[in-house]
Structure 1
Amino acid sequence: MSFPWANEYKPQHPVMQWVDERLPLPRFVYNAIGGGYPVPRNLNYFWNFGVLSGVALMIQIITGIILAMHYYASIDGAFNSVEHIMRDVNGGWFIRYAHMNGASFFFIVVYIHIFRGLFYGSYKAPREMVWLLGVVIFLLMMATGFMGYVLPWGQMSYWGAQVITGFFSAIPVVGEPLRQWLLGGYAPDQATLNRFFSLHYLLPFVILGTIILHVWALHIPGSSNPTGVSVKAESDTVPFHPYYTAKDGFGLGLFLLAFVAVTFFSPNMLGHPDNYIPANPLSTPAHIVPEWYYLPFYAILKAFTVDFGIPFTGIVIIPAKLMGVLAMFGSILLLFFLPWLDTSPVRSGHYRPLFRKFFLFGLIPSVLALGYCGMMPAEQPYVMISQIAAAYYFAHFLIILPIVSRIEKTLPLPNSITEAVTGKPLETAAA
């Protein structure tokens, strides 16, 4: 984000001058988070969640490295190694609980971050690449979280791997070979554990690299803001430091308070009790569910119960299982096309009354309903609710959003960010 009024880094100490001439890392940091990076002056606390997601990732990487030192990737020893970490390693219980709950908190802040972007139109030009890289990060998170859930080799770990990898077998021709390649065999076994452990260790660093690209792409057009109005003058911005480092610090304090409270006082609140039972391939749990952050997508999968075919002939064109798998992956992949599905010239939902109604009273309730139905058995009325909520989810992005963006009568936008904050025209506020 380059503005003529942005401060330039000028090292004063001879040592810092020597370093900056040969490796301009201090200049890079200053331009990224210091006075060299002007930020819109009206950002609210929803903009804290990008920083919080970065902190959550670092918690996962640090605790994951420590856990990997004591984990034994073997179907005979994985469960016992987790128990060893919990009981015998100094502070092991805290590291394991921090890593386990850190995954949930990572998804919580990322989900809020995504819905903030959806409401304020952060996916619109010129920030399409920022949004696309964000969706890639989300997909990598889902893959990393799934593989990590398998590693304790408890009952839900094993059967979760069995069910979720079984989705691939619904894909014609290549599905079953793809599943066998992913598992390293016909069912979750030693090869599966080796592969998932190595990928689970590697992918967080891939996520970190993608986040660097995500932030880099953000710094080119600059941060969006609640009004959706572009920055026009120096009075529209403030330096990132100290204004937003202080604001992010306050949000980080609240985040860490909640994280520590759950880790210390209710560490298993977001987990499943069956995962404290060693994996038994001969004993299927009564109700197999994934981690809570996959529940909306799991509900979409279960919403398809009838094969699509030619009536009265018995000819099946698309089996229900395949439709469920396609819908589940499609529910995420359609986010890649969101910048081109929403053609409204107005970014922020604050100035789009019709969009705001569909978002607050349509999209959010449908996602919450899918999450609730995802943890319930595949029976009525949960299947019907899942079908209605899934239908609305896809309709919102593929039908409602394109139509609303064309017919909606938006509210008048402020002439500048300064006017939105102070109530005064830009020229008056600048004077």
Structure 2
Amino acid sequence: MTTSRWNLHPILAWVDSHIIDYPTPMNINYNWSFGSAAGFCLGIQILSGVFLAMHYTPEIHLAFSSLEHIMRDVNNGWLVRYIHANGASFFFIVVYCHIFRGLYYGSYIEPRQELWCSGVIIFLLMMATAFMGYVLPWGQMSFWGATVITNLFSAIPVAGDAIVQWLWGGFSVGNPTLNRFFSLHYLMPFVIAGLVFVHLALLHKDGSGNPLGANSSFSSIPFYPYFYVKDLLGFFLLLTSLSVFVFFWPNSLGHPDNYIPADPLVTPAHIVPEWYFLPFYAILRSIPDKLGGVLGMGGAIVILLAIPFFNTSVLRSGNFRPIYLFGFWLIVADFLLLGWVGQKPVDDPYVSLGQYATFFYFLFFVLGIFAIGLLERWLLFPPSKPL
């Protein structure tokens, strides 16, 4: 009777069906905690970002000094700023783990194509938000990173120059650019939060996957109290790791040049983005043609949207796909190699390594998933031999 009254209230009924009594496969492991950890990181970023926006000044002559004011004069401002800056890195670490977990366990395979695509769209918006946030400190790397990345849009035929001028708000990176980036950087996390609810709705429509890759509706148990403790452990580990960086190495994940005020007359010796963009930056640099590099960098992310539709495997979990599993660990190593190459100078052997790694990246997603799936079909269901 109590449960019936609880479910009569629409909000409490939603909480009950989606959080408390949500049917969860009984064999899922800690790898399924990365999704909730990513949502936790988003909450940290929104909350810390709102407090920072109260004291930040989006004006090119005051932006850098306003951050110094936050660090030195605002009560606990240094803590909020370091949580926000390092929280972005931890957000990407968790999301990358979430994506690779999805690749390992086949989370992109029918019937979860829409769920996978919604996650990729959230990832794209995350990258755009993080890039605009990287510009806001208005340090040397912020200014020149914005100049280099926005200039890439000029490679788009016909409309490229107009797009660049719209992004700049003028004929160079300046005050209108900073104002636009600040406005969008403040808005986008709330858009992402809305899409997260769409992502969760799609997840609960088809149900969570599991390490076996099988339909586990017959062996599901309520999320609470059995699985929330796994997510809770993930939250504590995340907070502990983030706290170590915030209190002991708060500047280790940032570039030293970004602690120098922006100077349009002095170009840094080596312009690099934040570490979580480095694999895609390496792909951009590996293609000599400017338009080709832009298409390659964009295609490296967009191709994730396509893989549910050219998957040919009848198996889901990587635990039962030894050939695919070999390719999976190769793509993980390849992604790390691209990240390492992205921070190196544009010179041999780094350029050649980046080109080989870029080739394998697209080879895995274009041919690997399609061809390996066909091979698995042939091995599982070989053509019958004539009598």
Using structure 2 for the length normalisation, give the TM-score.
Answer: 0.96
Q: Structure 1 8/109 Cα, relative in aligned 2: closer, same or farther at 3 Å?
A: farther
Give the alignment of 1:366-385 within 5 angstroms.
366-385=334-353
Match of 1:324 in 2: 293
Q: 1: CA distance between counterparts of 2:2 and 2:134?
A: 46
Provide the alpha-carbon RMSD of the alignment.
Answer: 1.5
Is the CA contact (8 Å cut-off) linking 1:9 and 1:30 kept in structure 2? no
Work out which of the residue numbers 226, 245, 262 in structure 1 matches 2:245. 262
Match of 1:68 in 2: 53
Match of 2:355 in 1: 387
Match of 2:267 in 1: 284
Pairwise CA distance, 1:409: 6.1
Is the CA contact (8 Å cut-off) linking 2:307 and 2:369 kept in structure 1? no
Q: Structure 1 283/220 Cα, relative in aligned 2: closer, same or farther at 3 Å?
A: same
Q: For 1:334-386, what per-residue CA distance to the aligned partner results, in whole angstroms no more than 9, with x for missing partners?
A: 111111121101110101110001111x2111111110000111100000000
- Percent sequence identity over matched residues? 53
- Which SS does the other structure have where 1:39 is aligned? strand
Q: Give 1:55's aligned amino acid.
A: F
Match of 1:211 in 2: 196
Is the CA contact (8 Å cut-off) linking 1:39 and 1:238 kept in structure 2? yes
Pairwise CA distance, 1:398: 0.7
- Which SS does the other structure have where 1:10 is aligned? helix
Is the CA contact (8 Å cut-off) linking 1:351 and 1:411 kept in structure 2? no
**Which one has more relative contact order, counting CA pairs under 8 Å at least 6 apart?**
2
Q: Does 1:181 align with 2:166?
A: yes
Q: Which has the higher helix share?
A: 2
Work out which of the residue numbers 307, 326, 342 in structure 2 matches 1:357. 326
Q: For 1:156-185, what per-residue CA distance to the aligned partner results, in whole angstroms no more than 9, with x for missing partners?
A: 000000001011011111111101111111
Q: 2: CA distance between counterparts of 1:337 and 1:71?
A: 40
Q: 1: CA distance between counterparts of 2:104 and 2:203?
A: 18
Match of 2:40 in 1: 55
Work out which of the residue numbers 137, 143, 161 in structure 2 matches 1:152. 137
Q: 2: CA distance between counterparts of 1:399 and 1:346?
A: 17
* Between 289-298 and 394-403, the greater mean CA deviation after superposition: 394-403
Gaps of 5+ in 1: 1-6, 12-16, 306-319, 413-431
Pairwise CA distance, 1:10: 2.3
Q: Does 1:343 align with 2:343?
A: no
Gaps of 5+ in 2: 381-387
Q: For 1:191-232, what per-residue CA distance to the aligned partner results, in whole angstroms no more than 9, with x for missing partners?
A: 001100000000000000000000000001100011100124
Match of 1:425 in 2: none
Pairwise CA distance, 1:77: 0.3
Pairwise CA distance, 1:410: 9.2
- Which SS does the other structure have where 2:227 is aligned? helix
Q: 1: CA distance between counterparts of 2:3 and 2:157?
A: 58
Using structure 1 for the length normalisation, give the TM-score.
Answer: 0.86
Q: 2: CA distance between counterparts of 1:169 and 1:106?
A: 30
Match of 1:135 in 2: 120
Q: For 1:270-291, what per-residue CA distance to the aligned partner results, in whole angstroms no more than 9, with x for missing partners?
A: 1011111000000000000000
Work out which of the residue numbers 92, 96, 103 in structure 2 matches 1:118. 103
Q: Does 1:24 align with 2:36?
A: no
